[in-house]
Chains A and B, each alone.
Chain A
């Protein structure tokens, strides 16, 4: 079955750029929308943005100025970059698949904790 796996540094310094990758295995990245969602420790979920396999993106307005999501169909993966990070960006970051155009997340990665600290 299709599985998602996040990877990237677990520690990022303030003002630097957070970079994560989500590898899709057991299925193709083609014809789906893919998303990043984060969860600060002890808090709720926050949608970051999505990318369609063709490269079309859209972001949460509150993060739009700092977020870039890209896709590499040859590697069957997509990535997140979040610039100018602060301690408030410390969170577990999840990648997820959006099912069709119905705006629900049917598959999730296990998540990866990113801590912003000097």
Chain B
């Protein structure tokens, strides 16, 4: 069970759109529509932003959207804002009642 692969960092200017990729295998991301995304500000607990690949919990801005193609899931943040600067983690169901996280991506708003 290996960690999902995310870019270490992604940056963008206010108002731009950025996309964070999350690459797994046919045993996890590719087999299930059960990818979730979490936002973590320094010193804080992670916060659920996307679940089941594309769904947003109540209260999460519609600037956040999720998608999947093959073994890669993606999180897109549109209309980037200063408050979006944080670490982002993907997570996928990996079969046999286990989950696996990605290594995390640091988003910087320039």
Show the binding face of A for B, using Cβ within 8 Å: 37, 44-47, 50, 58, 60-62, 94, 99, 102-106, 108-111
CB distance from A71 to the nearest CB of B (A): 16
Q: How far is the CA of A78 from the CA of B99 in the complex (A)?
A: 19
Q: Which residues of A contact B97 (CB under 8 A)?
A: 50, 58
- The residue from A62, A99, A109 contacting B45, defined by CB atoms under 8 A apart: A109
Contacts of A99 in B (CB 8 A): 51
Interface centre among B32, B38, B45, B57 (most CB of A within 10 A): B45
> Which residues B23-69 have CB closer than 8 A to chain A?
32, 34, 36, 38, 45-48, 51-52, 57
With A47-B101, A104-B51 as contacts: A60 and B1 at CB distance below 8 Å: yes
Looking at A103, A108, A111, which has the most chain B CB atoms within 10 Å of its CB? A103
Chain B's nearest CB lies how many Å from the CB of A113?
A: 11
CB distance from A63 to the nearest CB of B (A): 11
Give the bracket for the number of chain B residues in contact with chain A: 20 to 34
Evaluate contact between B45 and A104: CB separation under 8 angstroms: no
Q: Can you list 20 A-B pairs, Cβ within 8 angstroms, ordered by A?
A: A44-B3, A44-B89, A45-B46, A45-B91, A46-B101, A47-B98, A47-B100, A58-B96, A58-B97, A94-B45, A102-B34, A103-B34, A103-B36, A103-B99, A104-B52, A105-B48, A106-B48, A106-B51, A106-B57, A110-B45
> Which one, B3, B93, B103, contacts A103 given CB within 8 A?
B93
With A104-B36, A105-B46: A58-B98 Cβ-Cβ less than 8 Å: yes
Residues on B with C-beta less than 8 A from A44 are 3, 89, 101-104
Known: A58-B96, A102-B51. 20 other contacts (CB 8 A): A44-B101, A44-B102, A44-B104, A45-B38, A45-B46, A45-B89, A45-B104, A47-B91, A58-B98, A61-B1, A94-B46, A103-B34, A103-B36, A103-B99, A104-B48, A105-B91, A106-B51, A108-B45, A110-B45, A111-B45
